[in-house]
């Protein structure tokens, strides 16, 4: 697994072993399955995964909207939900579409909100400007396009000037122009030094604006790191065939190479119960960026690891995502009768 940040320092969000199950009539559904998420502070972080992979559930746990079964969560080093009140002012989030008064202007809606949360009204003009609605603040909310409505929702989260913004699928239902508006807004917020954690299953929008990403499947992190590192934006990327890629990635990093390792789908149950992915270090995809193939062979060979394949690789984030989540849409839904991670509820087994 590639992780850009080794310690919890400098992380806006960190989860360890986070787990959440839902009890349904058909048994227990594992929504989040031991999630270790690292979101570096500052910039845009894409939280990517197919439908049902656990993104919304994770975000709801971080915000204290639903309890975790086990595991830990920290926001800016503060344990949540236990100490959420002491960090909540630094966090703004859109999880569901917020409600505004349709006949009031965008500005009036925000003024009401500012009064409600005790923020000076002067802040309203600033936040409208920062989402590009400065010129339209006096128009009625109902006259806004969907993209503008969503930008107003983002402006509302900015009233408190939060350091961390959490957006769950903020471009859902928007047309290409609306998507582009939201994308630019998120990028601008990231450039201001805020941390933007944005969940999405649309890779192209994330690839363009994110600095770092986590790719999740069935409630677990499959890969995370910088977009440049994962797609090889820092130069030519070479796919390396070697017997122990998990060990090789450590050796290469110690030697100063930019190397990434990702678990591969197996098509069968892994021993640790994570269906469909081999998370052992004996398989997976090893890529190295910005290094001479001869150098890669030499460094690994000196440690007794013999390279059997060196392929130039030009994969995009979408390609990586598809490889990592291969079969997600075709497999039985988590918790379904055919899902081995589903266990009968006590009532059902009784």
Give the interface with ligand ATP as residue ranges (CB under 6 A). Answer: 22, 24, 29, 31, 49, 51-57, 201, 333-335
Q: Which two tokens stand for residue 66?
A: 């639903």
SS (H, E, C) 154-216: HHHHHCCCCCEEEEECCCCCCCHHHHHHHHHHHHHHHHCCCEEEEEECCHHHHHHHCCEEEEE
Smallest distance from ligand ATP to CB 73, Å: 15
CA pair distance 36, 224, nearest whole angstrom: 10
Of residues 36 and 281, the one with the C-beta less far from ligand ATP: 36
Smallest distance from the beta carbon of 31 to ligand ATP, in angstroms?
Answer: 3
CA distances in angstroms from 341 to 57, 219, 331, 344, listed in the order given? 17, 11, 12, 10
CB of 306 to ligand ATP, least distance (A): 40
Nearer to ligand ATP, 57 or 214 (CB): 57
Q: How many residues are recorded in the chain?
A: 350
Alpha carbon 217 to its chain centroid, in Å, reads 11
- Cα–Cα distance measured from residue 210 to residue 40, given in angstroms and rounded to the nearest whole number: 12
Residue 341 CB, shortest distance to ligand ATP, in Å, is 10
CB of 71 to ligand ATP, least distance (A): 15
**DSSP code, position 66:** S
CB atoms within 10 A of CB 163: 18
| Pick 53 or 224: Cβ nearer ligand ATP | 53
Closer CB to ligand ATP, residue 215 or residue 286? 215
Pairing outcome for strands 212-217 and 43-48: parallel
- 21 versus 119: smaller Cβ distance to ligand ATP: 21
Closer residue to ligand ATP in complex, CB, 215/227 = 215
DSSP class of residue 343 equals: B
Rounded Cα distance, 80 and 86, in Å: 9
Q: Which is nearer to ligand ATP, 50 or 137 (CB)?
A: 50
The CB-of-81 to ligand ATP minimum distance in angstroms stands at 17
**Which residue number, 51 or 103, has a Cβ lying nearer to ligand ATP?**
51
Which pair of structure tokens corresponds to residue 213? 């990403």
Contact 198, 186 (CB under 8 A): yes
Asked if 30 and 342 touch (Cβ cutoff 8 Å), the reply is yes
CB of 228 to ligand ATP, least distance (A): 25
Other beta carbons within 10 angstroms of residue 67's beta carbon come to 9
Least CB distance from residue 54 to ligand ATP, whole Å? 4
């Amino acid at each position: 697994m590639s992780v850009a940040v080794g310690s919890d320092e400098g992380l806006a969000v960190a989860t360890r072993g986070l787990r959440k199950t839902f009890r349904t009539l058909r048994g227990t559904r594992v929504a989040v399955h031991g999630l270790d998420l690292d979101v570096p502070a500052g910039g845009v972080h894409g939280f990517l995964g197919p439908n049902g992979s656990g993104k919304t559930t994770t975000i709801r746990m971080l915000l204290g909207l639903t309890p975790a079964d086990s595991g830990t969560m920290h926001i800016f080093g503060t344990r949540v939900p236990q100490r959420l009140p002491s960090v909540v002012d630094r966090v703004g989030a859109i999880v569901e579409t917020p409600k505004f008064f349709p006949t009031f202007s965008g500005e009036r809606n925000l003024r009401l909100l500012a009064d409600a949360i005790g923020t000076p009204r002067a802040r309203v003009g600033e936040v409208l400007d920062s989402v590009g609605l400065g010129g339209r603040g006096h128009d009625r909310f109902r006259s806004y396009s969907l993209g503008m409505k969503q930008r107003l929702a983002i402006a509302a989260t900015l009233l408190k000037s939060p350091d961390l913004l959490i957006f769950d699928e903020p471009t859902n239902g928007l047309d290409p122009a609306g998507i582009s508006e939201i994308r630019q807004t998120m990028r601008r917020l990231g450039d201001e030094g805020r941390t933007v954690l944005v969940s999405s299953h649309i890779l192209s929008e994330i690839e363009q604006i994110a600095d770092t990403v986590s790719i999740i499947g069935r409630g677990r992190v499959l890969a995370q790191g910088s977009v440049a590192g994962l797609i090889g934006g820092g130069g030519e990327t070479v796919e390396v065939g070697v017997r122990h890629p998990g060990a090789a990635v450590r050796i290469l990093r110690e030697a100063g190479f930019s190397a990434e390792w990702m678990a591969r789908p197996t098509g069968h149950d892994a021993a640790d119960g994570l269906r469909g992915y081999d998370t052992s270090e004996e398989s997976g995809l090893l890529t190295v960026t910005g290094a001479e193939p001869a150098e890669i062979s030499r460094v690994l060979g000196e440690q007794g690891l013999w390279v059997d394949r060196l392929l130039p690789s030009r994969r995009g984030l979408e390609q990586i995502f598809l490889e990592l989540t291969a079969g997600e849409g075709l497999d039985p839904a988590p918790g379904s009768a055919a899902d081995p991670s589903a266990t009968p509820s006590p009532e059902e087994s009784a």
